[in-house]
Amino acid sequence: MKKLIIALSIASASPMMATVLNPAMAQDLNIQFTNLTHGSHFTPLIVSAHSEGQHLFEVNTAASGSLQAMAEGGDISGLVNEMNALNADTTENPAGGLMAPGQSVSFDMTTQNDNDYLSMAAMILPTNDGFVGLDALPIPKKKGTYTYYLNGYDAGTEANDEIINGAGAPGAPGVPADPLGQGGTGASGVINFESNTSVHIHRGVIGDTDATGGISDLDSRIHRWLNPVARLVIEVKQEK
């Protein structure tokens, strides 16, 4: 039924389309993003529509300094500045702070020019350098609603020691915090080196059940996750 209406409107508007439709046309989108995890918060999200060949991150390559700052401490300012310099259309922190487990945020975006690819990133708390990510998804051109599931990544910049010590600065070991308030203390640390120093799919957190010791300050019953960690629904409001 929807397709029929589209076909009819194209047919009736066809004399106009040749002049109106061109690759530089703006596109209006609605983005709905949901934290699917049961025990992890997301730090402020960066959502960026950009042109071909640009990335917030790429799997199997070393993280940029700005990506590291996002993944280790939730600071997206560097990524935002870089995307602005590339004339991307960027939405910064649409949820106005942390996103709790199960929380959704919905917002409109208008993409300009050749900004036909969508990338997203936000740190997963509590982790050392884990983040939810989307790398250069081609934005659908046809009107409709499209659902995607996003996975958890590891920036490869910090050892996953799982020690909650407040450290969020790039290069400082440790986990900044557990906003859920279920973190422990006194952990000896799961591991003190990172053997894969490129961006990769996160192997998950280990955790333990010892709130005042053990190897991890994370709780294995609460802070683990299974992919996917987020749902993305893109509504394309008009053809491009």
Partner 1 sequence: MKSFHSPDLLKLSSLALLMGSLMACNNSPREYQVSITNITHGQPVSPPIALLHKADFSLWKIGEAASDALERMAEGGDGSALLALRDSNPQYQADAPLAPGASIDFSLTTTRGGFNRLSVAGMLVNTNDGFSGINAIELSELKPGQSTVYYSHTYDAGTELNSELTGTIPGPADGGEGYNATRDDVTAVVTLHSGVVSSDDGHMISTLSSADRFDNPSLKIVVTAL
Binding interface with partner 1 (CB under 8 A): 1, 4, 7-8, 10-12, 14, 34-39, 100-104, 180, 182, 206-209, 220-229, 231
Cis check for the bond before 23: say yes or no (omega within 30 of 0).
no
Closer residue to partner 1 in complex, CB, 170/207: 207
Least Cα distance to 125 among 176, 69, 68 occurs for 176
CB of 68: closest distance to partner 1 in angstroms? 26
Nearer to partner 1, 8 or 172 (CB): 8
137/206 with CB nearer partner 1: 206
CB of 71 to partner 1, least distance (A): 20
Q: Which residues pair with 106 in a beta bridge?
A: 32
Closer Cβ to partner 1, 89 or 178, answer by number: 178
Q: How far apart are the first and last CA of the chain?
A: 20
DSSP bridge partners of 124: 42
| Nearest to partner 1 of 20, 85 (CB atom) | 20
Three-state SS string across 13-38, please?
A: HHHHHHHHCCCCCCEEEEEEEEECCC
CB of 10 to partner 1, least distance (A): 7
Q: For 176-215, give one letter per residue: b (16+ CB within 10 A) or e.
A: bbbbbebbbeebeebeeebeeebbeebebbbbbebeeebb
- From the CB of 8, what's the least distance to partner 1, in Å? 6
**In angstroms, what is the minimal distance from the CB of 14 to partner 1?**
6
Bridge-based pairing state of the strands 46-50 and 89-92:
antiparallel
